[in-house]
């Protein structure tokens, strides 16, 4: 036998090393592609959606003329209420006329056309303020009015002088005025809290649409899912894993739970429509029904992850507990379950996150396309009143023609992502906490 | 196979605690225990010896019905504890296991504090009326497990953080804390150093004053040192059962002789 030197690689080793280097390179490339996709995705979402968190406002001094708002002059709230938003429109026109008179801007537009720069909700905004505090009547009050979607788009470069050639909602003269107001510092973009807290709006007022109410809808659905899916899922898993005899019935149940996890979510939607709405007569579009449907969808996820984490607890722990005379139930609840808890929690939160982002089943139970204008006032209202949900709201906006809604869809995705990331962070934190205790 | 040549005083002191007749155990198709008859006496240490896989652990687990937890395991025959059939349908295995404690082959402390490991049994059986009593029980058990001095300053530390040998002694302490009448020990010293082994053997000797102890061991010397009676298992059969002295000096069966002299196993 010839002596081989360790300092020199033989052919076989060199080949093996090359294969390993190649494999590592493939892995790096795969990870690189993944990270690149993620960066592109997040970059797109944030660059397109960030605009939704800013909105253009016009600061305008309005004289709340007593002669128009309270003709009898008695400041009786019932009298004041009789004046509808139409009664406030002239005030707005006067305010614009005054603006031009004061020399802050010059325009040949009629005051009514100038009012067109504002969102259609401007009158309602004034009326609400007056009803809130009737003493404002007769005073000159400075309001921050939402600008219309077109004006907002102009400030965000979505709308240009060329793009509005055939647009009936805005004219070049109006944009000239916008430029002046902007230069005067009266018209500017501000952070838009209403996008996060507000309700959806009709097609005519994209600038006023917000995620808030659908967020509440999602919240109530998640409460239903959590309250039902977690206890049912965990109880079912404990029974199957720890108590069920090993026979064909158990096997069938097991196979079916796994199959259930693979059922497309729209099927759960149709089931919810047939059972909860048509048969049990629960209200349409209600978060309760949405929650029930999503519970069905989330259960298999929770059961599978719970069973996996129960299985991961070493049998010797069960033996130890039984060996000192603990009952089966004591061994499960005192020893096995606490050890499995982090896994159960992670599974539950992942299941919830899935449910939070689910749109398809909501289509069938009427939670898509519904515009809820007010948030619920009590828990039962929250569960039973028609509402939408975050992903349904996003889908709804993405469908609409006005590009202003398109921007809001992206903004909604950002909010949804923040929720999902938040939930995952909670899962990680809870898991860490639990783990430190052993 | 029962050995009847006992000294007169032994006959007075010993009465049968556990009596097994015609015990058969199957794991699915595997016939692990074949028609075993054993009398385990009170206040006696009985050693089970035999080559690996001969069914020592299996038989031991029959005595506190731990085999119930294995779905494929079937136990036939009769095992009497103080004259009562422990496989009677009326018997609750949980109650049985409080009387018949067990130390497992592999140390299996709970992933809880050292204190809670030992206190768990007394807690669920309501052996202590207050914290002070529980503290006392825990200390006593840890002392008997020959581990008190090592852990007395860190009772709140996790039991799983101890070394293998310490964990095993913790498990012994946990088993004696509930004051069982019979203690089953499955190779309790396989992970221990000679000093800890000596301490455990001392404990076994002490336990013998009140309880009956059954110990599975692969060490002939240990069997000879701690036990009064020895049972030799081979391929699921109980080959020979009798006084330890006699088994180690004048075994009747050639298989026993080959095993203790190191020719099979
Ligand atoms: N859970 C089980 N399922 C199936 N067969 C088992 C199981 N436990 C033990 N057996 C079988 O039963 C027989 C006896 O095993 P047992 O564990 O009682 O042996 P042992 O004498 O304790 O061995 P050792 O000295 O190695 O611990 C072996 O053939 C083993 O394969
Ligand atoms: Mg064994």
* Cα end-to-end span (Å), chain A: 57
B61 conformational bin, left if phi > 0, alpha if psi -120 to 50, beta if neither: alpha
Sign of torsion over alpha carbons A325, A329, A334, A337:
positive
Any idea what DSSP says for residue A147?
A: B
Give the CA count within 13 Å in the CB-facing half-sphere of B137.
25
- Gap between the Cα atoms of A97 and B139, Å rounded: 91
**ipTM confidence:** 0.87
Residue-wise pLDDT tens for chain B (265 aa)? 444 444 444 444 457 889 999 999 999 999 999 999 999 999 999 999 999 999 999 999 999 999 988 888 999 999 999 989 999 999 999 899 999 999 998 889 999 999 999 999 999 999 889 999 999 999 999 998 888 999 999 999 999 999 888 898 999 999 999 999 999 999 988 878 888 888 889 889 988 888 899 999 999 999 999 999 999 999 999 999 999 999 999 999 999 999 988 766 5
In a domain, B265, yes or no: no
Cβ–Cβ < 8 Å for B64, A323: yes
Least Cα distance to A171 among A116, A240, A132, A244 occurs for A116
Please name the helix (run of DSSP H) or strand (run of DSSP E) that holds residue A57, with its range, or none: strand A54-63
In a domain, B4, yes or no: no
What CATH number does residue B47 fall under? 3.40.50.300
What domains are defined for chain A?
51-191 (no CATH), 212-434 (1.10.3720.10)
Return the pLDDT at A100: 84
- Gap between the Cα atoms of B68 and B100, Å rounded: 15
In a domain, B74, yes or no: no
Contact B175 A317 (CB under 8 A): no
In a domain, B17, yes or no: no
In a domain, B8, yes or no: no
Query: Total structural domains in chain B?
Result: 1
Q: Which parts of chain B fold into alpha helices (H)? A: 8-13, 56-63, 93-99, 114-125, 131-144, 148-151, 164-177, 194-207, 220-226, 244-249, 254-260
Cβ–Cβ < 8 Å for B96, B86: yes
In chain B, what residues touch A334 (CB-CB under 8 Å)?
A: 120, 124
For residue A339, the distance in angstroms to the closest alpha carbon of chain B comes to 8
Mutation test of ligand 1: which of B26, B30, B51, B218 has the most ligand atoms closer than 8 Å to its C-beta? Answer: B30
Cβ–Cβ < 8 Å for B144, B176: yes
pTM of the shown model: 0.81
In chain A, what residues touch B110 (CB-CB under 8 Å)?
A: 317, 320-321, 335
Any idea what DSSP says for residue A278?
A: I
In chain B, what residues touch A322 (CB-CB under 8 Å)?
A: 66, 69, 94, 97
Please tell me the distance between residue A204's alpha carbon and the centre of ligand 1 in angstroms.
77
Ligand 1 atom closest to the CA of B54, numbered from 1: 21
Take atom 26 of ligand 1 and give the residue whose Cα is closest.
B52
Which ranges of chain A have pLDDT less than 50? 438
Return the pLDDT at A1: 56
Return the pLDDT at B10: 44
Contact A319 B174 (CB under 8 A): no
CB nearest B111 (choices: A319, A324, A438): A438
The answer, for B94 touching chain A at a CB cutoff of 8 Å, is yes
Please tell me the distance between residue B215's alpha carbon and the centre of ligand 2 in angstroms.
11
Q: Which two tokens stand for residue B256?
A: 């026993």
In a domain, B7, yes or no: no
In a domain, B10, yes or no: no
Task: Give the C-alpha distances (Å, rounded to integers) separating A332 from A239, A381, B172.
Answer: 10, 39, 22
Q: Which domain holds residue B217?
A: 42-57+90-260
Q: Which two tokens stand for residue B44?
A: 């006696």
Give, in degrees to the nearest 5, the angle at Cα A412 between A408 and A417. Answer: 150
In a domain, B191, yes or no: yes
């Amino acid at each position: 036998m010839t002596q081989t030197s360790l300092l020199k690689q033989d052919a076989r080793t060199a080949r093996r090393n090359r294969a390993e280097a190649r494999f590592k390179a493939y892995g790096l490339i795969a990870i690189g592609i993944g990270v690149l996709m993620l960066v592109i995705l997040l970059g797109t979402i944030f660059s397109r959606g960030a605009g939704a968190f800013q909105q253009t406002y016009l600061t305008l001094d309005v004289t709340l003329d007593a002669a128009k708002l309270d003709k009898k002059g008695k400041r009786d709230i019932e009298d004041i209420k009789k004046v509808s938003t139409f009664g406030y429109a002239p005030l707005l026109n006067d305010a614009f006329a005054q603006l031009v008179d004061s020399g802050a801007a010059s325009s040949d537009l009629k005051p009514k056309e100038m009012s067109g720069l504002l969102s259609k909700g401007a009158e309602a905004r004034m009326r609400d303020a007056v009803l809130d505090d009737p003493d404002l009547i007769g005073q000159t009050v400075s309001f921050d009015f939402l600008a219309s979607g077109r004006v907002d788009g102009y400030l965000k470069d979505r709308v240009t002088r060329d793009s509005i050639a055939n647009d009936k909602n805005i004219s070049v003269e109006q944009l000239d005025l916008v430029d002046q107001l902007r230069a005067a510092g009266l018209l500017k973009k501000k952070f838009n809290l209403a996008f996060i807290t507000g309700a959806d709006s009709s097609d005519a007022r994209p600038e006023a649409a917000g995620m808030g109410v659908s967020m509440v809808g999602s919240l109530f659905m998640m409460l239903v899912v959590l309250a039902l899916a977690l206890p049912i899922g965990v109880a079912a898993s404990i029974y199957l894993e720890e108590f069920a005899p090993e026979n064909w019935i158990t096997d069938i149940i097991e196979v079916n739970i796994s199959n259930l996890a693979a059922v497309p979510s729209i099927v759960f939607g149709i089931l919810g429509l047939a059972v909860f709405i048509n048969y049990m007569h629960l209200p349409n579009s209600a978060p309760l029904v949405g929650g029930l449907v999503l519970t069905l969808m989330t259960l298999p996820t929770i059961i599978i992850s719970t069973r996996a984490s129960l299985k991961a607890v070493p049998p010797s722990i069960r033996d130890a507990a039984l060996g000192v005379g603990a009952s089966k139930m004591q061994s499960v609840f005192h020893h096995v379950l606490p050890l499995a808890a982090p896994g159960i929690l992670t599974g539950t939160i992942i299941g919830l996150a899935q449910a939070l982002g689910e749109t398809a089943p909501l289509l069938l139970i009427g939670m898509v396309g519904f515009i809820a204008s007010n948030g619920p006032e009590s828990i039962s209202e929250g569960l039973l009143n028609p509402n939408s949900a975050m992903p349904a709201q996003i889908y709804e906006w993405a469908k609409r023609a006005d590009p202003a809604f398109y921007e809001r869809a992206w903004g909604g995705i950002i909010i949804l992502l923040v929720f999902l990331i938040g939930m995952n962070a909670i899962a990680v934190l809870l898991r860490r906490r639990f783990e430190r205790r052993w | 196979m029962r050995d009847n040549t006992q000294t007169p005083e032994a006959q007075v002191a010993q009465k049968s605690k556990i009596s097994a007749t015609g015990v058969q155990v199957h794991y699915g198709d595997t016939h692990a225990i074949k028609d075993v008859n054993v009398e385990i006496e009170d206040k006696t240490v009985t050693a089970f010896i035999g080559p690996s896989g001969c069914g020592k652990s299996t038989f031991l687990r029959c005595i506190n019905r731990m085999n119930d937890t294995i779905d494929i395991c079937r136990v036939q025959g009769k095992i009497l504890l103080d004259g009562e059939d422990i496989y009677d349908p009326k018997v609750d295995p949980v109650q049985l296991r409080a009387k018949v404690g067990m130390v497992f082959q592999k140390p299996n402390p709970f992933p809880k504090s050292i204190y809670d490991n030992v206190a768990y049994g007394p807690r669920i059986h309501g052996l202590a009326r207050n914290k002070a009593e529980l503290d006392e029980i825990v200390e006593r058990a840890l002392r008997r497990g020959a581990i008190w001095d090592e852990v007395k300053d860190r009772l709140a530390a996790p039991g799983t953080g101890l070394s293998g040998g310490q964990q095993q002694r913790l498990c012994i302490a946990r088993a004696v804390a509930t004051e069982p009448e019979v203690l089953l020990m499955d190779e309790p010293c396989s992970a221990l150093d000679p000093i800890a082994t000596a301490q455990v053997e001392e404990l076994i000797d002490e336990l013998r004053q009140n309880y009956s102890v059954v110990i599975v061991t692969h060490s002939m010397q240990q069997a000879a040192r701690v036990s009064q009676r020895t049972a030799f298992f081979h391929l699921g059969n109980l080959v020979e059962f009798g006084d330890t002295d006699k088994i180690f000096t004048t075994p009747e069966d050639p298989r026993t002789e080959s095993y203790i002299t190191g020719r099979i196993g």
